[in-house]
Structures are given as C-alpha cells and as structure tokens.
C-alpha cells in the first residue's frame, strides 16, 4: 500500500489523469492507444499523462505485456489518502479539493449509470442504494466502522469469480454532518 504525499497529490489532481487511473483500475492494464480510444483523447496527450502518473508512482509499465512500440501500464499498489495531512498547505489543499470533487463526481456517475441500466430482477434485488442517517459516532468509532466494512469487502475480493458473477462496485461514503 502506498500513501499519497503532497507532491504526488498535485501530480494526480487533474481530471484526465484521474480518468486514466480509473479506466485502468476498472478494466486492467492498458496502452495509451486503448486509453485514448476509451477516453476520447489523442494518444500523445494520454502518453504524456501516463508518464507523469508513472513519475509520481501511480502507474508502472507491465513488463509481461507489449512490445518495444506498445507500452502497457498497470497500477502497482493500492493508494491511501489521509486528507488531514494537507490541512496546513494551501496549494496542496487546492489539489486535494480538485481530487475529492472529481472523485465524488465519478462516484455519482457510477450510481447514475447503474440506475439508468436495465438489470434483471435478481440483480436489482441484490443491489442497494442505502444510507444510514441516525448514527452518532466519535472519530474513533467512525474509523473503526470503516475498517470493519473494508475487512468485510476484502473477504469478497479473494479467490476465483463464481459462475454467474458480475463485476460489482461497492461505494461507501461516511462523513460527519453538521446539524
């Protein structure tokens, strides 16, 4: 696991770079040409952003794929972001704001896409769009809740995919609300 620092956060906080990372996270290793087609950008622009993401440690070349002309890119590690680490640096706080707003928009777009798609009844019954509004937690309790939920999700990411399975996105937003 890799922690995002101020320098790498500023390198990531660009909408196209974030879309590139998301595309590789969701669909696996890719080349600049496959990403350019998928994201509607030109290959040169994508290549430049791929190199910048690699410079900041978000991507690496996949040595098991490609040729001298075709470079494949993959994500080496999970990244962890602690927003509290950037409270004292105005420039990094701006980059954090760009990153978090873009992240929230992508989460919203994923939910919207699910709602707009026509899924069979069994998938509609299995999915959920829920929230819990009556929790009263301390910061420590909220951190414990998030860790416990992550541990449950981790149990489902191990092993082979079962027959009839689909790729599933689990989104969790947990944050305090001012009354």
CATH number at residue 10: 1.10.10.10
153 in a structural domain? no
31 with 73: CB under 8 angstroms? yes
Domain of residue 62 covers 2-126
Q: What is the pLDDT of residue 43?
A: 95
Per-residue pLDDT in tens (0 to 9) along the chain, 179 residues: 788 888 888 888 898 999 999 999 989 999 999 999 999 999 999 999 999 999 998 999 988 887 777 899 999 988 888 898 888 888 888 889 988 999 899 999 999 999 999 999 999 999 999 988 889 999 999 999 999 999 999 899 877 888 999 989 998 888 888 87
Residue 28 belongs to a domain: yes
CA distance 51 to 60: 9
Tell me if 7 is assigned to some domain: yes
* 143 within some domain: no
Reported pTM: 0.77
Is 91 within 8 Å of 7 (Cβ atoms)?
no
């Amino acid at each position: 696991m890799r922690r995002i620092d101020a320098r790498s956060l500023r390198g990531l906080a660009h909408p196209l770079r974030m879309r590139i990372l998301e595309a590789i996270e969701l669909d696996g290793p890719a080349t600049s040409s496959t990403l350019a087609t998928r994201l509607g950008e030109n290959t040169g622009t994508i290549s430049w952003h791929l190199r910048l993401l690699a410079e900041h440690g978000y991507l690496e070349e996949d040595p098991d794929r490609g040729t001298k002309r075709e470079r494949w890119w993959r994500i080496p590690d999970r990244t962890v972001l602690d927003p509290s680490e950037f409270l004292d640096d105005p420039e990094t706080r701006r980059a954090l704001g760009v990153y978090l707003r873009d992240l929230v928009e992508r989460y919203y777009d994923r939910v919207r896409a699910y709602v707009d798609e026509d899924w069979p009844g069994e998938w509609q019954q299995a999915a959920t769009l829920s929230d819990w509004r009556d929790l009263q937690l301390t910061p420590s309790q909220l951190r414990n809740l998030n860790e416990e939920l992550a541990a449950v999700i981790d149990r489902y990411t191990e092993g082979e995919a079962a027959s009839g399975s689909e790729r599933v996105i689990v989104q969790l937003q947990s944050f305090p609300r001012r009354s």
